Amino acid sequence: MTLALEKENAVADFRKLIGATDPAEAAPGTIRRDFTTSKQNNIVHGSDLPENGRIEIAFHFSSRELIEAQ
Amino acid sequence: MSAELKNERTLVLVKTDAVMRGLIGEIIGRFERAGLKIVAMKMVYPGKEHAAGHYSGSEEWLKGMGNKTLDSFSQNNLDVKAIMGTDDPLEIGKMVQQWNVDYLSSGPVVALVLEGIHAIAAVRRIIGFTIPARAEVGTIRGGLSIDSNTIANIEKRATKNLVHASGDKTEAEHEIQHWFESEKILNYKRCDAHVMF
């Protein structure tokens, strides 16, 4: 499932929410710590830098598929 | 026979009031946890034309909706002629259809196809009665909304009921092809399938 999420400081904050790539190192309460134990099957991807966020969104979505925030 | 039962499909729309209220995950999570498989999903901002095409729009269907609306006016002791300007079921059906189209095209919606045993009936049960104010506690509509058709009728708008789901097989077939090209519907196995089925 591919999503584009929007908020202030979205890239860094989302990385914090999902936790470290290796679930053993992910902080308690993060998605990876709570829902997986496998470094390979790490459940979720989040862009690592704002620049890559732009590239990845453009790769997965055409501009008309992105809905303006109401 | 058994494969056919397991693979029944239904179309669900998480409508714009649910999207705006941040309830997408809550609603879709309930279907997932029930064991229904998501086989297609996307977010769209439907135009009026696409929203209108979602509904059957046949005269018989419009009349049926008009009659339902007439019933709800009389149950709520509302003067249908004073509010709607007519008591003709077809004319009322057309007006209500317009309310529905306006509601459906008023913002982004999440469309999905769900698959599972008796998917059509299962989803309807999880969603609850059409009108949130009278939907059972524990259902999506009963638990997450309080909108009422009494106020909606007076305000000449659709009752905001968070979710749409196909009512029967014919509707499901029409609605699934209206929202998704067939190659967008994916084939995969959920790993809990062998436990459940």
- A6, containing H or E segment: none
Q: Do the Cβ atoms of B43 and A70 come within 8 Å?
A: no
Closest residue in A to B16 (Cα) is: A70
**Does a structural domain hold residue A69?**
no
Mean pLDDT on B2-21: 92
Any CB–CB contact under 8 A between B108 and chain A?
yes
**Does a structural domain hold residue A48?**
yes
**Does a structural domain hold residue A31?**
yes
Condensed to tens digits (0 to 9), the pLDDT of residues B40-51 reads 999 999 999 999
Residues of B within 8 A of A1 (CB-CB) are 41
Measure CB to CB from residue A70 to each of B20, B41, B43 and give the nearest one: B20
> What is the DSSP secondary-structure string of A27-56?
PTTSHHHHH---SSS------SSHHHHHHH
Provide the residue ranges of all domains of chain B, joining segments of one domain with +: 1-45+108-148+162-197
The answer to whether residue B178 is catalytic is no
Mean pLDDT on B30-35: 96
**Residue B6 scores a pLDDT above 90:** no
Assigned token pair, B79? 């003067």
**Residue B102 scores a pLDDT above 80:** yes
CATH number of the domain within which A51 lies: 3.30.70.141
Mean pLDDT on A24-32: 95
Contact B10, B120 (CB under 8 A): yes
**Residue B3 scores a pLDDT above 90:** no
Q: Which of B195, B27, B42 is nearest to B123 (CA)?
A: B27
**Residue B68 scores a pLDDT above 70:** yes
**Residue B82 scores a pLDDT above 70:** yes
Assigned token pair, B21? 């209220």
**Does a structural domain hold residue A1?**
no
Pairing of strands B9-14, B163-165: antiparallel
- How many distinct structural domains can be found in chain A? 1
Residue with tokens 């506690």: B137
Catalytic residue, candidates B164, B174, B178, B194: B164
Domain assignment of residue A53, given as a range: 10-63
Per-residue pLDDT at B2: 72
Q: How would residue A4 be classed by pLDDT, with cut points 50, 70 and 90?
A: very high
Taking the CA of residue B44 and the nearest CA in chain A, the distance in Å comes to 7
B1-45+108-148+162-197 topology per CATH: Alpha-Beta Plaits (3.30.70)
Distance (Å, whole) CA A37 – CA A55: 29
Q: Do the Cβ atoms of A67 and B20 come within 8 Å?
A: no
Taking the CA of residue A36 and the nearest CA in chain B, the distance in Å comes to 15
Q: How would residue B1 be classed by pLDDT, with cut points 50, 70 and 90?
A: low
Q: Which neighbouring-strand residues pair with B44?
A: B109
Q: Do the Cβ atoms of B107 and A70 come within 8 Å?
A: yes
**Does a structural domain hold residue A26?**
yes
Any CB–CB contact under 8 A between A41 and chain B?
no
Q: Do the Cβ atoms of A67 and B45 come within 8 Å?
A: yes
Taking the CA of residue B130 and the nearest CA in chain A, the distance in Å comes to 26
pTM, entire model: 0.91
Closest residue in A to B21 (Cα) is: A70
Any CB–CB contact under 8 A between B43 and chain A?
yes
**Does a structural domain hold residue A14?**
yes
Q: Do the Cβ atoms of A67 and B41 come within 8 Å?
A: no
**Does a structural domain hold residue A68?**
no
Any CB–CB contact under 8 A between A62 and chain B?
no
Instruction: Calculate what percentage of chain B has a pLDDT beyond 90.
Output: 87
Complex ipTM > 0.85:
no
Mean pLDDT of chain A: 93
Distance (Å, whole) CA B114 – CA A45: 24
